Chains A and B, each alone.
Chain A
Amino acid sequence: MKKRILLFLLACVLLHAMSWAGGKSETGKTAGPVTLMVWHDQGEKGVNWFNDLNALYQKTNPGVKIESVTYPTQQWIEKSIAALNTNTAPDIIFNNYERVIKVEDQTNKIFDLSDAYRSLQEKDILSEQDLSVAKYKGKMLIFPIQRVQMAFGVRKSWLANTGKSFPKTWAEMLDLAETFTKGDPDKNGTAGDTFGLALQAANPRDLIHMLDLFTFGTGIRHTIIDPQGNIVINEPRRKEITKAFVALYWNYTARDTINHSFTEMYQIIEGGKAGMFRVGDWNVNKWDRPDVLGGDYVIGPWPQFKTGDKNAVVIGGMRGAAVPANSQKRDAAVKFVQFLLTKEAQELSFKHIGSAVRKDLNLQLSEHQQFFANPKYDLIAYDFPESIHPYYPQIEDMYHKALLKALANRNIDLDALLVETEKQMKDFIASRKK
């Protein structure tokens, strides 16, 4: 019995030690050779990018080595939160701004990079928009490194086979969707085995992201909520777009798109089954490869919904580097983060990931890369509501549920559903404020 009690006490001590692992020291100063550890979710291409950055950085900083580890996105979030809370953080965390916000919300331990930004020599690289994304609750959480652009893509050979041209308006897009869905645009001898569009719907972010692209792409900002906190889903123009958007799912996508997330959407695109799709700047390297799409696509801005609207390419996100306040090598980490905005480092960013924030890069680019590197169309930035409204994920989830209801039921009264959803959102926000 005594032995059991002793073992139990030992276990308790061990568990207690585990939950406070890493000690309490919060230092930032280092001396001598250092290795900076970066956590990201960019997969193999991200690891290669940081390997090249390491080689470049060592030319001017021979005492500093950069190492990176890639994690699946959800694991990255959970590991980062746990590590920051237990003072076992890596030196840099790299991801989309909204995921860094999630980490900050749970830890309050991300270092404020405002001073590091002020000490930059080339401040004009970052626009006002970039800076607004980088800040959250008065802190500069990330150094924006990669602006994420998303355009509209159409299969080049399908356009040629059907004698159509790249759609500039919704009417043209719908006409093309009809032709691609009912005809034989891939000339395989079977009509009706292809789809007009590849979309996704399964997760809240997936579905709203798609609606965001069509909404912002025609020049309208804010899909669900404006910066003042007003719910805008029933505003006439937005409602019109939402209805047309839902009809796209009903008529021109694969039947099980309602269950599709990114993986399934990419399978449809890369499997040669959809004629129109979203093209992100990070897709280009892969889709230009002969074993994937072999460059068989045309990129352009999103179609305008009404005459007088814009045809815009959407800046849909921002990836950036953040430094945990309890990094053991914080000063060296901040210096490296500043280096990520230099021209050479940004060129490596474009080479490996397909995006950067600087516009003065000297690169040999393919036609598709050129489209994103030197945009000739209107660019419209996503409004980043996550960084303004802490309750945004919850109201996005509500909207997602409403839209899923609509996608699953063609006979639904969409007007009534949207009114009911707006009320639900407002009630939720009011309860949060209480």
Chain B
Amino acid sequence: MFLLVILFGIYPIIKSIQMSFTASGTSLSSKPEYIFFSNYVSIFKDPYFLDSLRITLLFTIFSVPLNIMVAFLLALILGSPILKKGSVFFKLSVFLPVVVPSMAAAVVWKWLYNVNFGPISAICNYLGLPEFSGLANVHTVLPSLGAVELWKHVGLYTVIFVTNLQLIDKEMYEAAFLEGANYLQRTLLITIPELSPAFKLNIVYATIQFLKTFTVSLVMTQGGPNFASNFVSYYAYSKFKLANYGEATAMGTVLFVLVILISLSAKKILSMERSTRGTI
């Protein structure tokens, strides 16, 4: 197990970081030329990389709360007694996109968004609405990709919420009900605090997920139009395709550090809160 972790976990990361300190022209050769931080200097001077960082962070900042909120609402709906009869069907419907291969999902969504032939565009035309430019417009591409990512990932967050909802002691609701608390009060004062671990888990997981957004960019937009969906992962990949191995791995390392820092911060906040709770 220890060996496997080194072989498939640690070794590729170290190798990639090592490559980020080499000149691209020699990165894959047996005698790479070490240029220390030049690749990092170069990428931080590249306005397209800085823009891709901005796009990635912006996308994450908007997508994480949206996904968590929608997942929470879906969990409340799925946990409601009204849906008791068809609960398995509804849960399956919400979770199904999670297991659909990302590539296949992106291809289908790309067709749905097609300006000239896509059904979304056709419906807009039929209803006399303004043209839906979807992936072809720099202003609509990120919300369009955000919707795809929401559809793809919200099921997982919902399942985590639903599972945790079932663990909440029902007597708390009964007591609150007898005290005269309405549904909104019960949700705000019992459900949300009790789901706090699930919220934290989902937020950390979603943040990591959205910082690494790649497939939708690769399949649906190739970073476009005009680099409007050029996420860091995709930009690193396109640098790799141009044989700029040093810069590509430097970008990968920056993203890796960012993900680690955010995960560690979340862990720290989590443990701080636990210890605060312990002292009360």
> Which residues in A have some Cβ–Cβ distance to B below 8 Å?
4, 7-8, 10-11, 14-15, 74, 77-78, 81-82, 85-86, 102, 105-108, 193, 195, 201-204, 254-256, 258-259, 261, 273, 390, 393-394, 397, 401, 404-405, 407-409
Contacts and interface: CB of A to CB of B under 8 A. Distances in A.
Interface string B94-134: 00000000000000000000111100000000000000011
Nearest to A192: B116
Contacts of B222: 202-203, 259, 261
Contacts of B79: none
Interface of B: 2-3, 6-7, 11, 25-30, 48, 114-117, 133-136, 138, 220-228, 238, 241-244
Nearest to B111: A267
B25 A105 contact: yes
Given A10-B3, A11-B3, A102-B243, A259 B29 contact: no
A202 B224 contact: yes
Given A74-B241, A404-B227, A256 B29 contact: no
Contact of B225 (A102, A195, A397, A408): A408
Q: Interface of chain B, helix or strand or loop or mixed?
A: loop
Contacts of A261: 222
Given A7-B3, A106-B27, 20 more contacts: A11-B6, A15-B7, A15-B11, A85-B28, A85-B30, A106-B28, A193-B116, A202-B223, A258-B136, A258-B224, A259-B135, A259-B221, A259-B222, A390-B25, A393-B243, A394-B244, A397-B242, A404-B227, A408-B138, A409-B226
A258 B226 contact: yes
B116 A254 contact: yes
A106 B7 contact: no
Contacts of B241: 74, 203
A109 B272 CA distance: 56
Contacts of A85: 28-30
8 contacts: A11-B3, A15-B11, A107-B29, A203-B222, A255-B115, A259-B221, A404-B226, A408-B228
Contacts of B7: 11, 14-15
Contacts of B223: 202
B226 A405 contact: yes
Given A85-B28, A258-B225, A4 B2 contact: yes
A180 to B, nearest CB: 14
A259 B136 contact: yes
A287 to B, nearest CB: 21
Nearest to B114: A256
Contact of A106 (B29, B136, B221, B228): B29
B226 A408 contact: yes
Contacts of A409: 226
Contacts of B224: 201-202, 258-259, 404, 408
A7 B2 contact: yes
A81 B115 contact: no
Contact of A255 (B6, B25, B116): B116
B108 to A, nearest CB: 14
Contact of B135 (A82, A86, A256): A256
A423 B252 CA distance: 29
Nearest to B221: A259
B225 A259 contact: yes
A86 B228 CA distance: 39
B133 A255 contact: yes
Contacts of B29: 81, 85, 106-108
Contacts of B221: 259
A254 B136 CA distance: 10
A315 B243 CA distance: 25
Nearest to B131: A255
B227 A401 contact: yes
Contacts of A74: 241
Contacts of B115: 254-256
- Name the residue among A4, A259, A390 with the largest chain B CB count within 10 angstroms: A259
A387 to B, nearest CB: 15
A108 B30 CA distance: 10
B242 A393 contact: yes
Contacts of A203: 222, 238, 241
A397 B226 CA distance: 13
Nearest to A397: B242
A402 to B, nearest CB: 10
A401 B2 contact: no
3 nearest A-B residue pairs (beta carbon): A408-B226, A202-B222, A255-B115
A204 B48 CA distance: 14
Contacts of B227: 401, 404
Nearest to A105: B25
Contacts of B133: 255
Nearest to A271: B117
Nearest to A82: B28
A106 B6 contact: no
A202 to B, nearest CB: 4
A186 to B, nearest CB: 14
Given A81-B28, A404-B224, A255 B3 contact: no
A190 to B, nearest CB: 12
